[in-house]
Amino acid sequence: MTDTTVIQAAERELKTRISFTVAVKNSFTLAYRAWLKMLHNPESFMEMTILPVMLTLLFTFLFGGAVSGSTADYLPVIIPGVLVMCCAMGCSTAGTLLREDMNKGITKRLTSMPIARISPVAGMLMIEIIRYTVIGVVVFSLGFALGYRPEAGIVGVMGCIGLMVIAAWCLSWVFALMSVSVKSISTAQTIGMVIMFPMAFLSNALVPVETMPGWLQWVVDINPLSHVVTAMRELLSTGAMGSEFLVALAGSLVILAVFAPMTVMAYKRRA
């Protein structure tokens, strides 16, 4: 049956360091773990499916007439807007899960194991890509069902989802850093809400900027999410990647370059 014999220290082949291949493998294993957690957790599925559907229907029929004259005319405005909102609300998930691992002793076990130190963070964030992609597909499918036919066609839609996934993923690192730096799970969650809620609403996601007072326009303009929304609307209506697309993409990558290393360092220090 079981092989319980212990191989003694002297008879073991010990590695001095973790190779890059092992680090990648470890990250995928931990991404698989995050994936299983997602599957086991009905809430996270609701966040990815029911929430986007609800928000799209709600905004389309509630605001459509008031903002754009009709629900059909509002679809090009609201579809990218809802997509950004839903992704933004999911941005703090990875951070919260990391904090949970740290508070529940899982990080301790992982740290005592011969695995790459970057993998727990990398694995947790890798799976977020799936979350944003699912949200993107859900929102656009619903838009299509409601009669939305963007000029840019399927390629434009894919480009849009791609940009959204990249932007949301880069933003997730900001929340990951904050979650790793605070002490409790509820603090991590609250911070996520407190930042994300105004960010999602104080943007051009739901209504055109022109209707806002001057100072608010200024706030909306510095909100990175607005640039993502604008980039998506441009791409969807013209089929071309405008300057906003590059701005949004470059901004996201800058955020990633700054926050990803900081997160990994903070995680290592506090693990």
Partner 1 sequence: MSDCVLAVETNGLVKTFGNNRAVDGVSLSIPAGTICGVLGPNGAGKTTIINMLATLLTPDAGSAKIFGYDVQKDTQKVRQLIGLTGQFASIDEELTARENLVIFSRLLGFSKAESKRKSHDLLEEFGLTEAADRKLSEFSGGMRRRLDLAASLISRPPLIFLDEPTTGLDPRTRAQMWQTIRQLVKNGSTVLLTTQYLDEADQLADNIIVIDKGRVVANDTPDGLKRSISSASLRLVIRDPENTGRAVEVIEHVLGERVQITETSELAAPMKHAYKLTEVLIALRDAEIELSTIDVRQPTLDDVFFALTGNARENAGGN
> Binding marks (x or -) toward partner 1, 86..105, rule CB under 8 A?
------------------xx
Among 20, 40, 145, 210, binds partner 1 (CB under 8 A): 40
Among 8, 20, 66, 147, binds partner 1 (CB under 8 A): 8
Token look-up 């949301």 returns 168
Cβ(52)–Cβ(86) under 8 Å? yes
**Site residue total, partner 1 (CB under 8 A):** 40
Token look-up 């859900």 returns 138
**Residue nearer to partner 1 on the CB measure, 34 or 51:** 34
- Separation between Cα atoms, residue 77 and residue 55, nearest integer Å: 14
- Which region among 51-59, 113-121, 178-186, 256-264 touches partner 1 (by CB under 8 A)? 113-121
Check residue 262 for interaction with partner 1 (CB under 8 A): no
- Which region among 33-41, 51-59, 131-139, 223-231 touches partner 1 (by CB under 8 A)? 33-41
CA–CA distances in Å: residue 29 to residues 44, 124, 188: 20, 10, 25
Check residue 26 for interaction with partner 1 (CB under 8 A): yes
Distance in Å, CB of 173 to partner 1, minimum: 23
If one counts every other C-beta atom within 10 angstroms of the C-beta of residue 62, the result is 12
Token duo for residue 155: 């390629």
- Which region among 20-28, 167-175, 199-207, 243-251 touches partner 1 (by CB under 8 A)? 20-28
Cβ(120)–Cβ(100) under 8 Å? no
> Secondary structure of 18-71 in the HEC alphabet?
CCHHHHHHHHHHHHHHHHHHHHHCHHHHHHHCHHHHHHHHHHHHHHHHHHHCCH
Task: Please give the span between the terminal C-alpha atoms of the chain, in angstroms, as a whole number.
Answer: 37
Distance in Å, CB of 92 to partner 1, minimum: 18
Check residue 108 for interaction with partner 1 (CB under 8 A): yes
Token look-up 């590695």 returns 15
Check residue 75 for interaction with partner 1 (CB under 8 A): no
Check residue 12 for interaction with partner 1 (CB under 8 A): yes
Which residues lie near partner 1 (CB under 8 A)?
Answer: 1-10, 12, 14-18, 22, 25-26, 29-30, 32-33, 36-37, 40-41, 104-106, 108-115, 119, 271
